[in-house]
Copies of this chain bind each other. A is one copy, B any other.
Amino acid sequence: MFKTLIMQTSLITKAQVEKAFSMQEYIDTVEKVFKLYGEGKVEMPSKVYLSFEKGDLRSMPASIPDMKIAGVKNVNVHPGNKDLPVVMATVTLIDPENGFPLAIMDGTYLTGMRTGAAGAVAAKYLSREDATTAGFIGAGQQAHTQLEGLMLVRKISRVLVHDMSEEHMKKFAYDVKAKYGIAAEAVSADEVCKADIVTTTTPSRTPVLDSVGKGTHINAIGADAPGKQEINPEVLKDALVVIDDWEQASHSGEINVPLKKGVVSKEDIYANIGEIVCGKKACRESADQITVFDSTGLAIQDISCASEIFRKLQSEDLQKIKFF
């Protein structure tokens, strides 16, 4: 599939990644790889963590035989970074046929986009088809990306937003107006919860979402480390809860704290998103049902999207290196 006989590894920058792939392409790719995951057709060992004084590194390997690709994403989180981004990621793509490192690329932009795409795929399968209002608790960068995804799977005409930072809210409202011509309404967290689709993207360790109305779909994006949670566990108990991966979600996703406290148990988890996408488990049963997607972010999302981006950039004049 890839021309490896020249034995050069392609190097791909953030600017190139940004231009190469649209949100629709991220959504299509993530949907496809969630399906493969549901069918048991991927290999994805647990994320490996290295802990530093000021942050951490997560090494995320995955193999997707049906896409003829494998790879490892290395991504750091250093909350105190000033001159450098807080999160920086690189992806190494490997040809499973011969082990050759096909490409090393920026994974930072891709990480944000594939997370937005996961929210969109979850909303496509779990939210009401007639959902029109999107609410956001947390208005940082990931809220923008989540909305970009939702716009492509539901006819969103109203946007509600709440954030502790006035600045974040203003920027969000400005961008939403500029991009989609919609006035994002700054409201209380409780008001946000009246939306048809509520997306939480905060770094909170105590619930920021207390209750939602009937028929709401929640994309719980923020929790990605032990101790983090955004949603009142009582909401989870009444809802159809879908995770991305049991290993990761129970370790560091939205359900990790309520699981440890015994408020919810493994039996309360309805399905993983792969089982939903591949049709092994049904979607929502009624218009009244509350659905929750607990997203932690999977290596298969990164490796599948990175592979498609590399494929698209093959014909371009990429910087290359002959390592060996």
Contact = CB atoms under 8 A, between A and B. Distances in A.
A84 B8 CA distance: 11
Interface in A39-54: 43, 45-46, 48-54
Interface stretch (A55-63, A145-153, A196-204, A207-215): A55-63
A105 B323 contact: yes
Nearest to A90: B101
- Most interface-central of A52, A65, A105 (chain B CB within 10 A): A52
A321 B45 contact: no
A53 B96 contact: yes
Given A78-B98, A78-B99, A96-B53, A11 B11 contact: yes
Interface residues of A, number: 55
Interface in A8-25: 9, 11, 13-14
Given A90-B101, A101-B88, A48 B50 contact: no
Interface stretch (A68-76, A237-245, A286-294): A68-76
Given A13-B322, A70-B57, A98-B81, A90 B88 contact: no
A13 B324 contact: yes
A100 B88 contact: yes
Nearest to A321: B11
Contacts of A11: 11, 321, 323
Given A76-B94, A98-B54, A324 B48 contact: no
Contact of A57 (B4, B48, B84, B99): B99
A7 interface: yes
A249 B262 CA distance: 37
- Most interface-central of A43, A57, A65 (chain B CB within 10 A): A57
A55 B96 CA distance: 8
A106 interface: yes
A7 B84 contact: yes
B99 A323 contact: no
- Most interface-central of A53, A106, A108 (chain B CB within 10 A): A106
A164 to B, nearest CB: 25
A315 interface: no
Contacts of A14: 323-324
A85 interface: yes
A92 B94 contact: no
A130 interface: no
Given A57-B94, A106-B324, 7 more contacts: A11-B323, A45-B48, A52-B63, A72-B72, A74-B101, A76-B99, A88-B324
Interface of A: 4-5, 7, 9, 11, 13-14, 43, 45-46, 48-55, 57, 59, 61-63, 65, 70, 72, 74, 76-78, 81, 83-85, 87-88, 90, 92, 94, 96-101, 104-106, 108-109, 319, 321-324
